[in-house]
Amino acid sequence: MHSDRNLIESRLKRVLEERIRPAVYPESVPMEVGIWTAPDEPVPVAEGIAAPRTPISVGARWGAPWGTSWLTVSGVVPDAWAGRTVEALIDLGFDKNMPGFQCEGLVYRGDGSPVKGLHPRNQWVRVASPAIGGEEVLLHVEAASNPVVLDYHPFVPTELGEKETAGSEPQYRLERMDLAVFDETVWQLVLDLEVLGELMAELPVEGARRWDVLRAVDRALDAIDLQDVNGTAAAARAELAGVLATPAEPSAHRISAVGHAHIDSAWLWPLRETVRKVARTTANMTALLEEEPDFVYTMSQAQQYAWIKEHRPEVYARVKKAVAEGRFVPAGGMWVESDTNMPGSEAMARQFVHGKRFFMDEFGVENTEAWLPDTFGFAGGLPQIIKAAGSHRLLTQKISWSQVNSFPHHTFWWEGIDGTRIFTHFPPIDTYNCSMQGREIAHAVRNFKDKGRARHSIAPTGWGDGGGGTTREMIGKAARLRDLEGSARVRWERPAEFFARAEAEYPDAPVWVGELYLELHRATLTSQARTKQGNRASENLLREAELWAATAAVRAGFPYPYEQLDRIWKTVLLHQFHDILPGSSIAWVHREAERTYAAVAEELTGIVEAAQRALAGDGSGGGEVVFNAAPHARAGVPAGGARPAGAEPGGEACAVRPREGGGFVLGNGLLRVEVDGRGLVVSVRDLASGRETVAPGRAANLLQVHPDFPNMWDAWDVDAFYRNTVTDLTDADDVAVAVDSPQSVSVRVTRSFGASRAVQTLTLAVGARRLDLDTEVDWQETEKFLKAAFPLDLHADRYAAETQFGHLYRPTHTNTSWEAAKFEACNHRFVHLEEPGWGVGLVTASTYGHDLTRTVRPDDGGTTTTVRVSLLRAPRFPDPHTDQGVHRFRHALAPGATVGDAVAEGYRINLPERRVAGDAEVEPLVSVDHAAVVVSAVKLADDGSGDVVVRVYEAHGGRVAARLTPAFAHAGVQVCDLLERPLAEETEEVAEPARGGGVALRLRPFELRTLRFVRPVG
């Protein structure tokens, strides 16, 4: 037989596009439209509906960037349409290829009650079924003219990302405002043909099934009268019924579809717009749930539920009803889908505490899974945190974006730094915005890496980011794919149902140990430095506020600010969202974040100061009390306690003298530091060991500038070729002594480069085995990358980088492509390198990104291991003015440091002592007798009981037995999960020793434990 396959497939494409799809709405009449534009920010619904309207016609332009226009559309159902299904078609000027990235609308009835959202792939509003002739239609549309920031030519610098610079030019043109008859038979035919056409394209040409489908499609097209599609659609459907009814093979892959709309809590739009995106999407989804009995929808991010509750209570009532019915499923149990690399230990824990508690309080639902489809890689400490929050599963998808290495599993056990394992899945469909296209389903089947052992995967289905979620077309396609030969079997399922099924069939899934590193978006560890500094400062202040407020509450009856701390935590957690903290949002988002962090700092500082005043005494004697919030004692002040200021710290006096050949030599009896005439550190000698820290012939604290123009994703990415070109900043404007006293000496170095200026202060303090480095940069570069290099005379095949509740090790070599791909990585407060018996720590106060390389010196055969901290970038998309202005960074180099020293120095630089007028001694609420056990939080229990909650973890990477001693009256101790719920079986292992009054702790490497001390009532 001669092949006519291409002919029929081309025929299908044209007939479907030009004749059948237009026939879904065979008749229409225009509606009248009036418009009112809000003068500034969005207004309440009642105000928008009541505002006067001005007539506007289809084809007219509307909507300045970030504006809100209220449209009223009205019309009358023609008498001839009586008994038929009628819908309003409202096209605000959509581009169907940009769901979620342009204008959107929320439709209200005349009484102000919300109906559904309007989006590029969802422009219809059901008016009547069956319709009544002469029925009046009145709808209001709150239309947001969000500008297109990410256009067809992506990553082009634009001023549209900031309201003040976006201009006032109308962004959109009204395209259609009609009442129309909806022909469901034709609509069903469209779905039949789409599913079969997409299936054909994925089937092998030599297979019989493809030809069976082709012949059925050919007969269906013959059955259609192109001059009367509506009258012949049923006949065409009849020709397709047979091939649509043929069941799938018994071995077919199983796909659990779950309705989904991944909505970034901020990205190419500000936070206030996300509130409305969520309302539009949830209005859509609750309406769809009422119409489709098999459909299940899931939404993560407790913050987004809280927004609807506050701003759109009518929509929230619908959500609560659907949740109660088990159809609208809260997922993930986190406050937001946060970044997981940069949030600190407690912040990562509180993401789950606040997220899970919200779902439990509001819906009586406790999640078992973390839901993070779009997060840019996962820190090695996360499995333990997930488990400690009462969950044991993780879904992600972003790892499939890795540029170099294909991750070897889709379903696996992920083991964290402490040995905790959680069951993990990332969908082989390779999208969290599945639209039920045949190519997506076929890709999931082909791509699934666990064939022969497992056959289940998940498909989050729906348009995200304000695209409106799952559509009725997606549901219609899924129904046809439920049991269809040649396709995977598709069924709607809740995430928990999928995970239970997947875990049951694959309990011995392979294990992946350590971080889930994303080989992409590495520059998010550096972009938008102010946002990152605001996050770190907020985390530190929250620790202090909880510690000192709890101490003052127990010691002095200070009113513990439960509600205030709860609110502030949620604000900080929101800003850890995976496009805010990583620095990949528009300028508006980061401007607001900077303002928010300043307000948070002011409020938390007020709590800290009030609590410390309550503890410090009256101060009438003119003395000072030194408070130490760090988990290690320093200068005679215990961890978590305070002492009256006494003598200056002991040790050999500091000295500074000129260096031969230029520069200065600094010493304190522990270290001798040489700064040459260029202002570079050419020697740091550890006098106790006699070891030199800086590699021979090299200079440390060397600022280096690279060109930085990645192939795409400007704010997100740094590509490996950036290293090919580097400028060392060796010319100094000035090198001079800044401080010369017995207690500290410092040298100030000033440099000019490009249009920028850097001032660095290098300080050596009495009794300190570290060199403190303070860098202030007036950054005026674009598309450049600034780093500070520390070439070390040290040979090691791995190094430690701090992460949540511990540290992980990464290789210093690039033996494999997996290691080579980690050319930019994350640390929290320190990185540490060590030869047996001697190591070096580099600690940071607010930076996260770093890189590490090593070379062998040809002259002496020694190894130079260079650590470089990443300071600033200057990408131009999506914020064309990223990081312009003045920044300050603090680091410290600690020669001779053990990993324990690095832990302590990291806390020291992040939690400086505070001095308060007074004369009291403040005993810590708790003390620990082992340096490896770090107290990460001291607070009062969230339930307001007055119980004291203490969280500890093993920080050195070894097994430890220690004693934790509370210094307050208590009636017992409970081991708890992160939500402060007792774990009875573990509490039995924690005994109250007869002598000493402390709690015996036995911790595995990096194990965290939460203890709740029950305080007597009254």
Residue 343: cis peptide before it, omega within 30 degrees of 0? no
Span 659-672, pLDDT tens digits = 999 999 999 999 99
Rounded Cα distance between 561 and 611, Å, is 10
pLDDT at 460: 98
* pLDDT tens per residue across span 836-894: 999 999 999 999 999 999 999 999 999 999 999 999 999 999 999 999 999 999 999 99
pLDDT for res 649: 72
> Residue 275: is its pLDDT beyond 50?
yes
The token pair that represents 5 in the structure block: 């396959």
Contact 719, 726 (CB under 8 A): no
DSSP code, position 24: G
Tell me what pLDDT residue 354 has: 98
The 10s digit of each residue's pLDDT in 5-22 is 999 999 999 999 999 999
Per-residue pLDDT tens over the stretch 416-474: 999 999 999 999 999 999 999 999 999 999 999 999 999 999 999 999 998 999 999 99
Residue 996 has pLDDT above 80, yes or no: no
| Tokens, residue 70 | 């209220």
**Cα first-last separation, the chain:** 93
> Is the distance from CB of 158 to CB of 880 less than 8 angstroms?
yes
| pLDDT value of position 893 | 98
Q: How far apart are CA 99 and CA 480, in angstroms?
A: 24
Query: Residue 620 carries which side chain, given as an amino acid letter?
Result: S
User: In terms of DSSP bridges, do strands 61-62 and 67-76 run parallel, antiparallel, or are they unpaired?
Assistant: unpaired
pLDDT band with cut points at 50, 70 and 90 for residue 73 = very high
Tokens of 940: 């009062």
The span from the CA of 71 to the CA of 90, in Å, is 10
User: Residue 723 pLDDT more than 80?
Assistant: yes
Q: What is the pLDDT of residues 724-763, one digit of tens each?
A: 999 999 999 999 999 999 999 999 999 999 999 999 999 9
H or E segment to which residue 387 belongs? helix 382-388
pLDDT of residue 292: 95
- The residue behind tokens 């469901």 is 184
622's torsion region: left (phi>0), alpha (psi -120 to 50) or beta? left
> For residue 1001, is pLDDT > 90?
yes
Backbone angles phi, psi at 803, to 5 degrees: -135, -170
Q: Is 450 an annotated catalytic residue? A: no
| Angle of CA points 299, 123, 186, to nearest 5° | 105
Taking the CA atoms of 521, 94, 430 and 279 in sequence, report the sign of the dihedral they define: positive
Q: What average pLDDT does range 915-922 have in this prediction?
A: 95
Q: In this predicted model, what pLDDT tens digit does every residue of 208-245 receive, in sequence order?
A: 999 999 999 999 999 999 999 999 999 999 999 999 99
Non-local (6+) Cβ contacts of 606 within 8 A are none
Question: Is residue 567 predicted with pLDDT exceeding 80?
Answer: yes
Q: Which of 374, 879, 901, 947 is catalytic?
A: 374
Q: Which residue has the tokens 């030009």?
A: 18
Residue 991, pLDDT above cutoff 60: no
User: What H or E segment, with its residue span, contains residue 834?
Assistant: strand 830-835
266 has pLDDT over 60: yes
Residue 989 has pLDDT above 60, yes or no: no
Q: Is the pLDDT of residue 337 over 90?
A: yes
The phi, psi pair for 886, rounded to 5°, reads: -95, 135
Q: What is the pLDDT of residue 994?
A: 34
What percentage of residues in the chain have a pLDDT greater than 90? 97
Among 618, 641, 644, 613, CA closest to 629: 641
Tell whether the model's pLDDT for residue 196 goes beyond 70: yes
Given a cut of 70, is residue 1 above it in pLDDT?
A: no
Residue 1018: the pLDDT is 63
Q: Give the list of residues 6+ apart from residue 622 with CB closer than 8 angstroms, or none.
A: 917
pLDDT number for residue 990: 59
Mean pLDDT estimate for the chain: 96
Q: Predicted confidence band at 910 (pLDDT cuts at 50, 70, 90)?
A: very high
Q: What is the pLDDT of residue 924?
A: 98
* Type of residue numbered 1014: V
CB 399 within 8 A of CB 407: yes
